[in-house]
Amino acid sequence: MNSRIRFDAELDQLKLELIKMGDIVMQNIAAGLRSFLTTDVELADKTIKADKIVNACEQAIEKDCLRIILKEQPVAKDLRLITAVLKMITDLERIGDHAADISKMTIFMEKTKKPYPIADMKPMSEAATAMIRKALASFINHDDVLAEEIHGDDDVVDAYFEDVKRTVANAIRANAIDADYAIYAMMVAKYLERIADHAVNIGEWVVFSITGEHKHNLIF
């Protein structure tokens, strides 16, 4: 096996590990929200503990990236790809933190025993998760056009966030929601909104890995 074939194999493995980390993060988002909507404290606790796996993935991928840089001394597009991976795993790790944060709201909420149905919460979570999935797909397929679409997708999540705020505000005015639950629900919605923002960041680093531009500024 010549050096280029070996190097390409290392890069492919790096991509695979990134996708695995993304899959775990998306599973944690779904589990975290499900724990909140159903007041499932056991699931919430499991999801919080699962964040350690996300952290371990970040550390392992970061170590592999640095090893490849030191060993292979990549240039041009290869260095862009590795740099982008280092940036993307940071955003994925923060998304994982938010999934754990949502689960923590479940544990806090258990004390109130007064959940209030908010219809927009689940589709908001699904829309944010779809953004992550699209960002990872654009990376694997080397598709900067697909990555650019994520900015528009973020508007959908922002609209859901506004809908959740209105729902909670109306429930407060009608004295139909427990005060603590209203706070927890808004925090969950904010975490989902931040998850979408991190998905946008991932998409921007995908574009950088392909074009060398980040937020329309040429880096290298």
For residue 61, give the CATH number of its domain. Answer: 1.20.58.220
For 213, phi and psi rounded to 5 degrees?
-105, 140
Radius of gyration of the chain (CA): 19
Predicted local confidence at residue 109, as pLDDT: 82
Point out the residues of the chain with pLDDT beneath 50.
none
Condensed to tens digits (0 to 9), the pLDDT of residues 10-55 reads: 999 999 999 999 999 999 999 999 999 999 999 999 999 999 999 9
Q: Which two tokens stand for residue 24?
A: 């775990």
Q: What's this model's pTM, rounded to 2 decimal places?
A: 0.94
Predicted local confidence at residue 46, as pLDDT: 97
Please, which residues have CB within 8 angstroms of residue 115's CB and are 6 or more apart in sequence? 37, 39, 109, 181
What's the 3-state SS for the chain?
CCHHHHHHHHHHHHHHHHHHHHHHHHHHHHHHHHHHHHCCHHHHHHHHHHHHHHHHHHHHHHHHHHHHHHHHCCCHHHHHHHHHHHHHHHHHHHHHHHHHHHHHHHHHHCCCCCCCCCCCHHHHHHHHHHHHHHHHHHHHCCCHHHHHCHHHHHHHHHHHHHHHHHHHHHHHHCCCCCHHHHHHHHHHHHHHHHHHHHHHHHHHHHHHHHHCEECCEECC
Predicted local confidence at residue 112, as pLDDT: 67
Predicted local confidence at residue 151, as pLDDT: 95
Full residue range of the structural domain in which residue 206 is found: 3-218
Predicted local confidence at residue 88, as pLDDT: 98
Condensed to tens digits (0 to 9), the pLDDT of residues 52-66 reads: 999 999 999 999 999
For 79, phi and psi rounded to 5 degrees?
-70, -35
For the chain, the domain total comes to 1
Q: How far apart are CA 34 and CA 30, in angstroms?
A: 6
Q: How far apart are CA 61 and CA 207, in angstroms?
A: 20
Please, which residues have CB within 8 angstroms of residue 162's CB and are 6 or more apart in sequence? none
